[in-house]
């Protein structure tokens, strides 16, 4: 089914009390990832870009 993660509801501005599958972000436009998840993805993306430039 996929990895479950925390999510925020953009309409209410509150964190959901349960974890949702990652694919729900594409199905429900009002769901957003948590700031921690966004920061982790940005760090991972930057590390990948840096390793490609060096090699």
How many folded domains does the chain comprise? 1
53: in domain: no
Domain assignment of residue 36, given as a range = 4-46
Residue 20 lies in a domain: yes
Question: Is 52 within the bounds of a domain?
Answer: no
Confidence (pLDDT) at 54: 62
Does the residue 55 lie in any domain?
no
Question: What is the per-residue pLDDT for 23?
Answer: 94
Gap between the Cα atoms of 17 and 52, Å rounded: 39
Asked if the structure places residue 51 within a domain, the reply is no
20: closest CA among 10, 1, 7? 7
Report the 10 Å Cβ neighbour count for 7.
Answer: 22
18 assigned to some structural domain: yes
pLDDT single digits (tens) 1-55:
678 999 999 999 999 999 999 999 999 999 999 888 888 888 988 888 777 766 5
């Amino acid at each position: 089914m996929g990895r479950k993660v925390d999510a925020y509801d953009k309409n209410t501005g509150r964190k959901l009390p349960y974890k949702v599958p990652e694919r729900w972000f594409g199905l429900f436009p009002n769901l957003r990832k948590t700031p921690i998840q966004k920061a982790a993805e940005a760090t991972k993306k930057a590390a990948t870009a840096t390793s490609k430039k060096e090699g």
